[in-house]
Amino acid sequence: DGGITQSPKYLFRKEGQNVTLSCEQNLNHDAMYWYRQDPGQGLRLIYYSQIVNDFQKGDIAEGYSVSREKKESFPLTVTSAQKNPTAFYLCASRGWKAGGRDIQYFGAGTRLSVL
């Protein structure tokens, strides 16, 4: 089945440590996104990529980095510069659904906590 796979499901970060969240899609979508979800807030865009080897900052990019070396993969690194990393992270890709509808599809998310 086509879809978006995020791993790990749960991740723990120690102080001063960088951690990387994986996002893989087999939908053949060009555009991919990373969102952060905090309690009581909607999703906020961290980074997005419209094509391989290109990515753009979203509203809350500080303390995060991404790469897009392959169409299928869009990993997110939470660096030690991100002082409040505890959140739920969602990866998405955008593509066309039958009927000509351009929509975003989401992975199941990664819960990041600080030890």
Partner 1 sequence: AQTVTQSQPEMSVQEAETVTLSCTYDTSESNYYLFWYKQPPSRQMILVIRQEAYKQQNATENRFSVNFQKAAKSFSLKISDSQLGDTAMYFCAFMITYNNNDMRFGAGTRLTVKP
Q: Which listed residue (5, 17, 28, 56) binds partner 1 by CB under 8 A?
A: 56
Name the minimum Å distance from CB 49 to partner 1. 9
Binding flag, residue 103, partner 1 (CB under 8 A)? yes
* Nearest to partner 1 of 15, 102 (CB atom): 102
CA dihedral 110, 43, 108, 112 (to 10 degrees): 10
Residues near partner 1 (CB under 8 A), total: 24
55: contact with partner 1 by CB under 8 A: no
Residues 6+ apart with CB under 8 A from 111: 9, 10, 11, 88, 89
